[in-house]
Structure 1
Amino acid sequence: MEKHRVVPDVVTSLPKQILKIVYPSGVSVNLGNELTPTQVKEIPKVQWDAEPGAYYTLCMTDPDNHHRDVPYNEWHHWLVGNIPGNDVSKGETLSEYIGSGPPKGTGIHRYIFMVYKQPGKLTFDEPRLKRSVEGRGNFFLTKFAEKYNLGQPVAGNFYLAQFDDYVPSLYKELGA
């Protein structure tokens, strides 16, 4: 994560656990491996070692929204809070999942997943976002974590992706 500047571009410290992420297409996320937008278009299965009775927040963000050389321009792809243990399906979806869609000509992007242990069950005042591009830009994971007193991430992982022929279909579906 340090090699690809996940620290310090997105988080300030490395999580202790590696998040296990497997897509229905059969590919797994493995600390910076390159995947295609076609491979990651559906919601993945995400697992980590959770404490019994604890609640967690999961975020997937792209800090390279327009181009990797323009830092601090995060666009979040997925945000789920109040996850009991590691059962993401029982969490509160704040932003529905959207797979990778790096614009043509913007090079390779980092898609970063982080999980935070919550101090308890939370009341989120974030807008609930459906599968659309609205409200996802100008997101900063560290500010979100500060706002809800989440501390440092407990688990994380990431992959790299660049434009492929699925991206125009994704944009059309999202109304972009």
Structure 2
Amino acid sequence: MLTPISRIAFKEFNEICVPLARFRHFMRGKPPGIAKSLAERLEEENKKDPDISYRVNIGYSQTVTPVKLKDRLEHYKKKSRDEELEKLSRQRQLKLSVEDVRKEWNQSVGPNQIRIIADHYGIYEHLFGDAYFIPIVPLDVKFKSDNSYIPVYRGNIIKPFEASQCPEVKFDAESDSLWTLILTNPDGNFTDSNAEYVHWFVGNIPGSDLSKGDLIYDYLQPFPPHGVGFQRFVFILYKQEGKIDYDSYNKKIPCRLLAERNFKTKDFYRKHQDVLTPAGLAFFQSDWDPSLTDFFHNVLEMKEPTYEYDFPKPYIKPQVWYPIRQPFNLYLDKYRDEKEIAKEFLLKKLKKEHPFKAPEKKPKYPNAFPIDKKYPSWLRLEMKKERLGWGRVNDY
């Protein structure tokens, strides 16, 4: 039988603990048999209506008839029974024309694969928004560097000093057709994150002769600042339905003011979408190199920008007495000033240096010499690191 005091305690327990238990069950969510799994929840959130087209093809359509598996196997069997081909292959004399292979690739699966690669790099999203196009016209772009040519493919890396000169661009086109070629950088605008810099703009190109086109913006080499990583530089070739008046754009040549090179591909296409259709695409990536210091100072006449990532300070637990299962010196270094630790390592190194004597030769096998066990374990570990050049010792 409960006493009056125990009855009061039991009543208070029911009033406080039982609601807490129910609240804890509510916070945990539904049982595994009823609750949806993570994959089911993600599928539900990412589900799209198949009747709604979220992306629009603003280019030309390309229909490639897929080769049936049966026909492909028959072709392989036929070639495998060819004794002459087998003989040339065994003797390493079988030659294939790279140009023929590239031409066949460009006429079959190449344009769609280029579209997939450009999608992976976010080219369409950042230039055209929800629109895309299939680059059915192959672009042959090459930069001349010293005595060699550096081609532009689909995202390959080209340094700024290699792309300092205007590239050579070739494409197949009828003599009576008109084209527009634009080179733009969607990652490098200093003042507007939603805008681009146009690095080259040639309009009303008759056939494939760029020298006879209207030069709207002269060529400006890539200039990615130090610390921003790789930037994308995209060549887009547009097919024109007729001659276009580009007088509204900047006509100052050479143009070295970056404010006058602000450009938005999406707005440009919307303005001329009735007479322009994107048909070709090539792009490369570039990052900072030492040649850009002179370019910023003497060509753009501006101070060279430098970017650094501000890393947040790492979280360090509050200090405790007698830390267990961790090296004593490393534990204390967490709470010491970094400059004080660096000074300690530097003085330790300078103590062994002599202005007139060569440094001591390190043994070929440092760990072959035992360390006296009279030293504590944390100090023996530090001595081992110093012998092998591990950790902070390498910095000095």
Per the TM superposition, whether the score is higher than 0.5 is yes
- What's the secondary structure of 1:154's corresponding residue? strand
> Residue 164 of structure 1: SS of its match in structure 2?
coil
Asked whether the 8 Å contact 1:56–1:115 carries over to 2, the reply is yes
Q: Percent identity?
A: 29
Q: Does the 8 A contact of 1:9 with 1:71 survive in 2? A: no
1:14-53 alignment, distance < 5 Å: 14=133, 15-25=135-145, 26-53=149-176
Q: Which of 1 and 2 has greater Rg?
A: 2
Q: 1:98 aligned to 2:235? A: no
Q: 1:9 aligns with which of 120, 126, 129?
A: 126
3-state DSSP of counterpart to 1:32: strand
Summarize deviations over 1:37-72 as a string: whole Å, max 9, x none. 0000100011122233111111000000158xx963
Number of equivalenced pairs: 173
> Judging changes above 3 Å, is the alpha-carbon distance between structure 1 residues 152 and 120 closer, same or farther for their aligned structure 2 residues?
closer
- Structure 1 residues 82 and 151 mapped into 2: Cα distance closer, same or farther (>3 Å)? closer
AA matched with 2:119: E
Q: 1:59 aligns with which of 173, 182, 187?
A: 182
1:112 to 234, 247, 250: 234
- Give, as a single letter, the amino acid of the residue that structure 2 aligns with 1:56: W
Deviates most, 12-21 or 111-120: 12-21
RMSD: 1.8
Structure showing greater relative contact order (alpha-carbon pairs closer than 8 Å, 6 or more residues apart): 1
Greater strand percent: which structure?
Answer: 1
> Do residues 142 (structure 1) and 261 (structure 2) align?
no
Distance 2:189 2:233 in 1: 13
TM-score computed with the length of structure 2 as normaliser: 0.42
2: distance between equivalents of 1:106 and 1:66? Answer: 12
More helix by share: 2
- Give 5+ residue unaligned stretches, structure 2: 1-117, 303-396
- Residues 175 and 208 in structure 2, CA contact (< 8 A), matched pair in contact too: no
Report SS of the residue matched to 2:199: strand
Residues 157-172 of structure 1: pairs in structure 2 closer than 5 A: 157-171=282-296, 172=298
Deviation at 1:93, TM superposition (A): 0.6
